[in-house]
Structure 1
Amino acid sequence: MQFGVNHLGHFLLTHLLLGLLKSSAPSRIVVVSSKLYKYGEINFDDLNSEKSYSRSSAYSRSKLANILFTRELARRLEGTGVTVNVLHPGIVRTNLGRHINIPVLVKPLFNVVSWAFFKSPAEGAQTSVYLASSPEVEGVSGKYFGDCKEEELLPKAMDDLVGRKLWDISEVMVGLIR
């Protein structure tokens, strides 16, 4: 489910919009990932975590897939006037963690910590807005950003062979190719 929602759904939606994006060029695609990609591994023998499931591993894998997808899509879109970049929004105070079991006695402390150290939704959206609209990144493609600045990626997130293989498998998984 996590791989499907976090990677395959975005992969398919982007594919379905590519014609419009190309005809509307210059246009931009912004992909949201997470620094937790660092803990992910692309296991082609178990992409859907059917053999072995860990919530955190599946999430990290899907976020690594977002980055590999972005880099491969940027390569495929060279010269079209469509750019694609990926970002880490930071740790943002949203209700996405509502399913995490936090003991009742710890919850007030967690809420104080989150207000002190997590970004507000508006702050968390800043890099997305920057990548979608700033003249500073016009023509920039295939890069990873955090806090409106380009950041370095780990080598596993820049593995072009894994990115191409993931692309090919994703096309099959979403039914674009048989």
Structure 2
Amino acid sequence: MNELLLIAGIFIAVLIFFRQFVRGAQCKSKTKLHGKTVIVTGSNTGIGKATAVELAMRGARVILACRNQVRGEAAVAVVKRESGSKNVVLMHLDLASLKSVRSFAQTFLKSEERLDILINNAGVFAQGTTEDGLGLMFGVNHIGHFLLTNLLLERMKESAPSRIVTVSSNLHNLGNLDLDCLRTHKEFGMGDSLIDIFKIYSHSKLCNVLFTHELAKKLQGTNVTCYSLHPGLYLTNAILV
């Protein structure tokens, strides 16, 4: 009897996990986006590329903000082919370099008149350091997007109603922040073991959520709205890009 209850409990737990994290919900909106301009970071693969295809199908002008030029060009071709839209362009963006983030923002602001949606999607799950000496995951997953968002914010206010969407993770629930580390400019987001890397990734996703929450409060009344989300489980090569 106890064994049957245990098996039943495991089955129910697996079912709940599948429904919550694997299958997830589907967007039922059919809203068209003609005349809108959207940036999707990390859009040469995975969630970012799938998002870019959907947005292009809805009529948006889609900017693929990617680090790797060759992969980015290949992604543009795929997005154009699958969406049937020609209004898809590539702009170089390396979130592991604050210089690159500033260069991207400068190029975008000179070439594009509006920005309706910014999707901070790019992310890594790997050890290393950024060009500026930050832990790679902290630098790419949070700091790079933090700077990018702030550099583009005025253009988004001019284009309002507009929105900022930051892809986080349910793993943010396992994260915490070392504020002393931030204040003293010590290396942040460094670790040696797989457990350390897992924790640092969770910390970076918590930063995404907290940033979104605070920015949403600051932007009240501007018609620029902010959202963070958990995308569900997805087979991606975030470890590699």
SS at match of 1:95: coil
Which amino acid in structure 1 is aligned with residue 215 of structure 2?
L
Q: CA separation in 1, counterparts of 2:237 and 2:179?
A: 31
After TM superposition, the structure 1 = structure 2 runs for residues 132-143 of structure 1, keeping only pairs within 5 Å, are none
The question of whether the paired residues in 1 share the 8 Å contact of 2:142 and 2:205 is answered with yes
Q: Structure 1 stretches (4+) deviating beyond 4 angstroms?
A: 50-53
Q: CA separation in 2, counterparts of 1:90 and 1:20?
A: 30
* Structure 1 counterpart of 2:147: 12
Please list the CA deviations of residues 100-145 of structure 1 after superposition, one character each: whole Å capped at 9, or x if unmatched. xxxxxxxxxxxxxxxxxxxxxxxxxxxxxxxxxxxxxxxxxxxxxx
Which amino acid in structure 2 is aligned with residue 49 of structure 1?
G
SS at match of 1:74: helix
* Structure 2 counterpart of 1:40: 175
Q: CA separation in 1, counterparts of 2:153 and 2:239?
A: 32
* Structure 1 counterpart of 2:218: 76
Which amino acid in structure 1 is aligned with residue 198 of structure 2?
S
> Number of aligned pairs?
99
Please list the CA deviations of residues 40-80 of structure 1 after superposition, one character each: whole Å capped at 9, or x if unmatched. 01111235135887101110000000000000000010000
The reply to whether residue 94 of structure 1 matches residue 229 of structure 2 is no
SS at match of 1:46: helix
CA RMSD of aligned residues (A): 2.0
Higher share in helix: 1
Please list the CA deviations of residues 23-44 of structure 1 after superposition, one character each: whole Å capped at 9, or x if unmatched. 0000011010000011101111
* Structure 1 counterpart of 2:162: 27
Q: CA separation in 1, counterparts of 2:145 and 2:213?
A: 14
Q: CA separation in 1, counterparts of 2:168 and 2:215?
A: 15
Higher RCO (CA 8 Å, separation ≥ 6 residues): 1
Structure index of larger Rg? 2
CA 1:35–1:51 in 2, change beyond 3 Å: closer, same or farther? closer
Unaligned segments of structure 1, at least 5 residues = 100-178
TM-score normalised according to structure 2 size = 0.39
SS at match of 1:96: coil
CA 1:4–1:25 in 2, change beyond 3 Å: closer, same or farther? same
SS at match of 1:30: strand
% of aligned pairs identical? 53
